[in-house]
Chain A
């Protein structure tokens, strides 16, 4: 049925047509149109019985009390301190431990004369330098994966390609395990659904979303989910990792959804942030 016909039938069911003759003619001419009209009428009639709802005074008091308790609490006004998972607090400690273990390993390997040289080298290497070097190494691996895709036309067979090269050669940060888990869970949810989910387009238009996907090299992919406000998920109490950015998720056209690869592309940079196989 054409959109115009459906709209006409719905308008008739809603009783907002001044001239109903065209709609009645349509219904009289087609069984499908008649069934559609009856369905629209049935649904509208069922929903019209909905009575308005308001909070009871107890519920209202509880809402205000709990809200102000939350807002005046120690985390008031500080989104990150309230919403970050507990293990985020230990990440700096883990980073320092990592550097120390690395230092010990280097010293053990070097031994004798080499030890002094190793000490000189490591003394000048801060924790952030170390993690940057790791990030570069990681991004390098993914650049290789991206090249593989370019040659074969297929996605590199990795489930954690979270730092692929964008077209201009810039790279995203390496993924945390929390980010990988988050995107994998999103991918599973997409695979279990049937309809595309435009959760929130935010300031992005549908055209921008599709262009971004093309820019990332996924022309033959179908948009499955757009989430321009993952930070709201944090606000809403979900354990969304801090590095979650507005993204579009897509699957290859024609692939069975329940087993399709799901690519996640950042909407702001059009970089691939994750591929879930």
Chain B
């Protein structure tokens, strides 16, 4: 855990072009960013792409960090926005079939789901609920972030986060119930 002063100092070095500082920043956050992206995207390759894009954006926007939130929160916000964009692009393409790894009969694909840390039916149920609810549930209930931090990352009020988490869980339970019928 770093202090705001340490974050600011690290960012200042990144802005000055200090590659070691950037590597240090990456090392501190890359696993969490990858984890968030993997839960959202449900696919390791896409998650890795989103992680890379997140850090590219972080590097290029380092000078714009105002210090209003923790550095990690700012990076996770960029990660979530990056994943939003990638999901939107996927939706626009329309031609993408349902990810293969969600097919439980495909054993190699099932491995990929396990690698995502969730059972296939849960991943499938999660994928079926609306994006906004999914994001809130992932950050709160899977990544274990506090509601205020989720609110900062999603840039919505805490009350809205609560509502999305509770409703998201209800929708998820509905999906899981449908699957078991």
A residues apposed to B, CB below 8 Å: 3, 6-7, 10, 36, 38-40, 42-44, 46-47, 49-55, 59-60, 62-64, 66-67, 70-71, 77, 79, 185, 189, 194-195, 197-202, 206, 228-229, 232-233, 235-238
Contact = CB atoms under 8 A, between A and B. Distances in A.
Nearest to A14: B141
A36 B84 CA distance: 29
Contacts of B166: 6-7, 10, 40
A51 B117 contact: yes
B170 A40 contact: yes
Contact of B81 (A10, A62, A64, A200): A200
Contacts of B70: none
B81 A185 contact: no
Taking each of A46, A54, A185, which has the highest tally of chain B beta carbons within 10 Å of its own beta carbon? A46
20 contacts: A10-B166, A38-B173, A39-B170, A40-B166, A40-B173, A46-B122, A47-B172, A50-B117, A50-B142, A59-B34, A59-B44, A62-B48, A63-B52, A71-B56, A197-B132, A200-B77, A232-B61, A235-B57, A235-B61, A236-B53
Interface string B124-141: 010000101000010001
Nearest to B165: A10
Nearest to B159: A3
B155 A60 contact: no
B115 A53 contact: yes
B35 interface: yes
Given A40-B170, A40-B173, A50-B142, 16 more contacts: A10-B169, A43-B137, A43-B173, A44-B141, A54-B34, A55-B31, A59-B48, A64-B23, A67-B56, A185-B92, A189-B91, A194-B130, A201-B156, A235-B57, A236-B82, A236-B85
B176 interface: yes
A194 B166 CA distance: 18
Given A52-B117, A185-B92, A235-B61, A47 B122 contact: yes
Contacts of B93: none
Contact of B31 (A42, A54, A70): A54
A39 B52 contact: no
Contacts of A49: 118-119, 122
B30 A60 contact: yes
Interface of B: 23, 26, 30-31, 34-35, 38-39, 44, 48, 51-53, 55-57, 59-61, 77-78, 81-82, 84-86, 88-89, 91-92, 115-119, 122, 125, 130, 132, 137, 141-142, 154-157, 159-160, 162-163, 165-166, 168-170, 172-174, 176-177
B81 A43 contact: no
A39 B169 contact: yes
A55 B30 contact: yes
Nearest to B132: A195
Nearest to A68: B19
Contact of A232 (B23, B78, B86, B88): B78
Contacts of A44: 141, 169
A212 B25 CA distance: 37
Contacts of B173: 38-40, 42-43, 46
A46 B176 contact: yes
Contacts of B91: 189
A42 B57 CA distance: 37
A195 B119 contact: no
Contact of B34 (A3, A6, A53, A237): A53
B151 to A, nearest CB: 11
Nearest to B123: A50
Contacts of A54: 31, 34-35
Given A46-B172, A46-B176, A235-B57, A63 B85 contact: no
Contacts of A39: 169-170, 173-174
Given A59-B48, A62-B48, A238 B142 contact: no
Contacts of B118: 49-50
